[in-house]
């Protein structure tokens, strides 16, 4: 795997400067509990194991909240600073399950 210089691709130079920013998943991520679909909006909660610890918004109906660790920047699209995930005009990305 090639070395990732995230700061050259619009990411802050230090991982701790990313905490609190919102990202969109570039692909499907799986941990021991959840399969998180492509295009899901998640918040960076901490630098974790060479990547980031992410937490999603709570589900409207069941209030479950997915979290996953060790996600690398190359698996994420960083959204602009000040991004508000609660806006009604935020459209989810097309899902590629088919």
Position 98 in a domain: no
Alpha-carbon distance values, 26 to 1, 29, 63, 72, 77 (Å): 17, 9, 24, 11, 7
H/E stretch holding 67 reads strand 67-71
Is residue 73 predicted with pLDDT exceeding 80? yes
Count the domains in the chain: 1
Confidence of residue 75 (pLDDT cuts 50, 70, 90): very high
Tens of pLDDT, residues 12-30: 888 889 999 999 999 999 9
Largest interatomic CA distance in the chain: 41
Which pLDDT does position 15 carry in this prediction? 86
Is residue 8 predicted with pLDDT exceeding 70? no
Report the CATH number at residue 20. Answer: 2.30.30
Q: Which domain holds residue 17?
A: 9-77
| Whole-angstrom distance, CA of residue 24 vs CA of residue 73 | 11
Position 83 in a domain: no
Please report, rounded to a whole number, the percentage of residues in the chain having pLDDT higher than 90.
Answer: 40
For tokens 């399950």, the residue is: 97
Higher local confidence (pLDDT), 27 or 4: 27
């Amino acid at each position: 795997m090639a070395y990732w210089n995230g700061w050259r691709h619009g990411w802050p130079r230090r991982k701790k400067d990313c905490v609190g920013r919102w990202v969109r998943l570039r692909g499907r991520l799986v941990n021991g509990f959840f399969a998180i679909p492509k295009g899901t909006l998640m918040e960076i909660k901490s630098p974790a194991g060479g990547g980031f610890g992410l937490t999603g918004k709570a589900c409207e109906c069941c209030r479950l909240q997915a979290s996953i660790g060790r996600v690398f920047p190359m698996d994420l699209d960083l959204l602009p600073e000040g991004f508000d995930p609660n806006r009604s005009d935020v459209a989810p990305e097309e899902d590629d399950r088919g």
